[in-house]
Amino acid sequence: MNPPAPPADPLEDAVLAARLFTLAPRVFKGMVLRGSSPAREALVAALGQAIPLRRLPGHVDDERLLGGIDLAASLSAGKPVRQTGLIEEAQGGALIAGMAERMDAGIAGRLAQALDEGHTALVLLDDAVEPEDAPPHSLGERLAFLCDLSASRRWQGVALAPAGGALADVAALDEPQLRALAATAGALGVDSLRALILAGETARGLAALDGRTAAGKHDLTGAVRLVLAPRATRLPPEEAEAPPEDQPPPPPDGERDEQSDTDQQQQDPDLSELLVEAAKAAIPADLLASLAQGKAPRRSASSGTGQKRKAATRGKPLGARPGMPRAGAKLALIDSLRAAVPWQQVRRREAGADASSPILMRKEDLRIRRFEERAARVTIFAVDASGSAAAARLAEAKGAVELMLGQAYVTRSEVALVAFRGSGAELLLPPTRSLTRARRTLAELPGGGGTPLALGLNAAREVAEAVIARGRSAALVILTDGRANIAADGSPGRPQAAADAEAAAKAIAARGIDALVVDISARPGPEGAALAGALGGRFLALPRADARMLQAAIQAVQPPARAA
Amino acid sequence: MARFPFSAIVAQDEMKQALLIAAVDPSIGGVMVFGDRGTGKSTAARALAALMPPIMAAEGCPYGGSKEDQARYPEVVGRGRMVSRPVPFVDMPLGATEDRVIGSLDLERALRSGEKAFEPGLLAKAHRGFLYIDEINLLEDHLVDLLLDVAASGENVVEREGLSVRHPARFVLIGSGNPEEGELRPQLLDRFGLSVEVRTPKDIEARIAIMKLVAENEADPEGFAARWAEEDEKILKRIARGKAKLAKLVPQEDVLRDAAELCLAVGADGLRGELTLMRAARALAGLEGARSVTRKHLVAIAPSALRHRLRRDVLDETGSTARITRAITELFG
């Protein structure tokens, strides 16, 4: 049994998905189109021919999204005039949002609600390039189709052929078909019932496109390919591995009995196995790769990002709230006016002859602006550059710094590096987001000499404090074996050095700075763990770790940033 | 203010070439200039805008709408007759607010006459011209987001403050920045058709020549412009000729194959790189007055068209330009 070959170009399935979507926008809710490519532009243009698409800019406000008071009309009418919102205006068509991976969670929430109530349908354009970046999960989960077009080689002659029939004319799926779909979803680790329901509707929709009145085997494999495969969270169990061509192995126990009893009209005795095979062939390559490595698929929540803070003066505008414009809070003029407008007639009556001013404002109308500013996380590496292991430790730390900076534009995080050796500590790389700069600064790192651990810790703490003073969060990653032999005053001697290091570590712990101690030496001793204990942080022994392992480990254990 | 003549700009040939190509075929999509301050980036961009022949635009239209815009956006462009106006050049400051960039409710009119009017922003001003952003790598994230959206769609959609406005905003985006001060988001980078690297000329003769020219210009701007008018006129003619020839220059199979092989060899993902490479080579052939697009054009423009599209391997320190040059040597000898 050969799995059906995946289509030659990802655009083919995307066109199919788009035809389904336009067949019944309220049923399928919409699609996520990943990867900025000429193919996607062509597909969006074709979609626009089929149903009205209304663009949803990222900076839309609640007023325009949901409808609200029309300020200008209300002013001239002297009474509140309501205006419709985008969701309402896009009825019968769909809203299309570019850069969906950057969509504000608040907007996503409103849209999710509108989707659930059947008020809207969505096309999300996802331009994310890093696995940590994705459109809000609440939306992606609700939309039937996820198509990745970044690898498409086509862009010409894209058109959506009209459907041969209507979804309503297609019979509901029968018991064996439902069972097979559910089993396939289970095998792929697709837990959401929404996805399963959408897959069933997709099978019916595929029949409708062909003008048939019942869904067949082919429609089910299509549904699995379009809806379930892109949502896979694990590879199907090994038993379902593609068998030698002519000798299918017995399917998993239990399933066979149930299937053979109920599945009368199907030639193939095991429909679910067929579907699982179809799914395996259709799991997108990048998802397959990350599943094979045992990683969870991408989610939009990125833990490396600094916590969002509500700031008074800078950042992305967030809307307004009642309050007095003082202490750096700016007046939100439009919102203040909008709050005042509905009361104009009443106030004019109260004010009587005194009402010559065009608009009567009161203190309670005043609104102040809020902005969102991200508290960027700064990861400070403190690297023990002493002794014989210095070269290796420095090289891997440098690699990890570069890897972290390689993704810094996603997490908006910065990296700094302090090295300590001989009788001093040095800030080699001040906090930066620039890979280019890090590379230049870290090109030549000197190593060797004693281990002034206390000095290194103090230097790192100073950097961290400066970072926190600027309203960002700091995390320390200390690469050392913890065997201090230079005291805080620069004099040699193990006992004093260890005592000073412990004091320095406790100062860091007292400041509440996250710390991680990593020992990459071949035989980690107890000192590293002791240091981590004094720091109130974690300890990782990673013998012979390279830069990639190191970076992965750091990202895995770093708790979400906290704004200081 | 009298502008500095484009033809009087010393050295920086790659940047000048990229700007001219963007002028010939704006669909290539903008130029990103990497490099230090004081290398003539903004001078060159400004000079190019001033060099371009005037456009015909609807009278009184704040967007400078063309005849096609009048058909597509009748409610915002209006029915004014076509009059000539200079190609707009908008210099967007880093600290620009979102309101200023996308436009906002005209508050005065709203209060005085209860009229809901849109006050166009910088994006509207830049339509059919150039939008220059210095230190684009330091631009705040939410501004980058909206720029990307507009650059991709060619229109600015405003849905806030009770406004619902859609107006055309197609421009050649020219960005500059020093990567040492912060990296650019790859999505934004990908929007630029071409990228160039500039350095201050190290050649002492070139530096002296620049100082002389700048001094001359400051002493007598009109006279200086007049002296360079003929040279500028030549460049203008080249651009016009290039534009006229574009449609006739259809790349042949062998050049297309070269382009595909080169993109594959350097690891430039996606079709966009290939299309841009092809379009840029075609525009270059047009500028040079060549009969057909050849491998020579392709090779000449490849670093500009591809260097910002290479797959990122953080641990590989070989520069992008070096990787492209190496691939060209390996493939084409």
Q: Which ranges in chain B are annotated with CATH 1.10.8.80?
A: 246-332
How much is the average pLDDT of A6-29?
88
User: Measured at the alpha carbon of residue A44, what is the angle toward residues A104 and B23, in degrees to the nearest 5?
Assistant: 90
How much is the average pLDDT of A181-194?
89
* Interface membership of B244 toward A (CB under 8 Å): no
How much is the average pLDDT of A455-484?
86
Assigned architecture for domain B246-332: Orthogonal Bundle (1.10)
Share of chain B above pLDDT 70, in %: 96
- pLDDT digit string (tens) for B157-179? 999 878 889 999 999 999 988 87
pTM for the full predicted model: 0.71
Cα distances from A380 to residues A397, A431, B173, in angstroms, run 11, 8, 36
CB spacing of B162 vs A68 below 8 angstroms = yes
Cα–Cα distance for residue pair B200/B229, rounded to 1 Å:
26
Higher local confidence (pLDDT), A448 or B131:
B131
pLDDT of residue A258: 42
Residues of chain B neighbouring A65 (CB-CB closer than 8 A) = 159
Q: How confident is the model at residue A126 (pLDDT cuts 50, 70, 90)?
A: very high
> In the predicted model, is pLDDT for residue B152 greater than 80?
yes
Average per-residue pLDDT for chain A: 79
- Running DSSP on this structure, what letter comes out for residue A224? I
pLDDT of residue A377: 79
> In the predicted model, is pLDDT for residue A249 greater than 60?
no
Q: How confident is the model at residue B109 (pLDDT cuts 50, 70, 90)?
A: confident
Superfamily of domain A1-58+90-152: P-loop containing nucleotide triphosphate hydrolases (3.40.50.300)
> In the predicted model, is pLDDT for residue B130 greater than 60?
yes
pLDDT of residue A300: 45
pLDDT of residue A426: 87
> Per the structure block, which two tokens stand in for A159?
């058109």
- pLDDT digit string (tens) for A214-242? 999 999 999 999 999 999 888 877 654 44
* Interface membership of B2 toward A (CB under 8 Å): no
pLDDT of residue A516: 87
pLDDT of residue A267: 44
pLDDT of residue A241: 43
Highest mean pLDDT among A366-370, A415-419, B291-295: B291-295
CB spacing of B142 vs A315 below 8 angstroms = yes
* Interface membership of A57 toward B (CB under 8 Å): yes
Highest mean pLDDT among A235-244, A383-392, A531-540: A531-540
Cα–Cα distance for residue pair A385/A450, rounded to 1 Å:
9
Q: Which ranges in chain B are annotated with CATH 3.40.50.300?
A: 6-52+87-198
Question: Residues 146 to 175 of B: which have CB under 8 A from any A CB?
Answer: 146, 148-149, 152-153, 155, 157-164, 166
pLDDT of residue A306: 44
CA distance B279 to chain A (A): 14
The packing angle between helices B320-332 and B253-266, to 10°, is 130
Residues of chain A neighbouring B149 (CB-CB closer than 8 A) = 57-58, 98-99
B241 is catalytic: no
Task: Find all residues with CB under 8 Å of A486, minimum gap 6, and list them.
Answer: A422, A423, A450, A451, A452, A453, A454, A455, A492, A497
| Residues B58/B82, Cβ–Cβ less than 8 Å | yes
Higher local confidence (pLDDT), B316 or A121:
A121
Per-residue DSSP letters for B192-232?
-SEEEEE-----HHHHHHHHHHHHHHHH-HHHHHHHHHHHH
A307-316, A460-469, B312-321: segment of lowest average pLDDT: A307-316
Right CATH for A376-557 from 3.40.50.720, 3.90.1310.10, 3.10.180.10, 3.40.50.410: 3.40.50.410
How much is the average pLDDT of A103-124?
88
Q: Answer whether CATH 2.40.110.10 is correct for domain A161-234+267-297.
A: no
Higher local confidence (pLDDT), A297 or B139:
B139
Choose, from B109, B272, B282, B295, the residue flagged as catalytic: B272
Domains A1-58+90-152 and A161-234+267-297 belong to one CATH topology: no
How much is the average pLDDT of B194-223?
86
* Interface membership of A110 toward B (CB under 8 Å): no
Cα–Cα distance for residue pair A107/A318, rounded to 1 Å:
11
Kindly list the domain boundaries of chain A, sorted by start residue.
1-58+90-152, 161-234+267-297, 308-373, 376-557
> Per the structure block, which two tokens stand in for A332?
């939100």
- pLDDT digit string (tens) for A345-358? 777 777 765 656 77
> Per the structure block, which two tokens stand in for B152?
């991709």
Assigned architecture for domain B6-52+87-198: 3-Layer(aba) Sandwich (3.40)
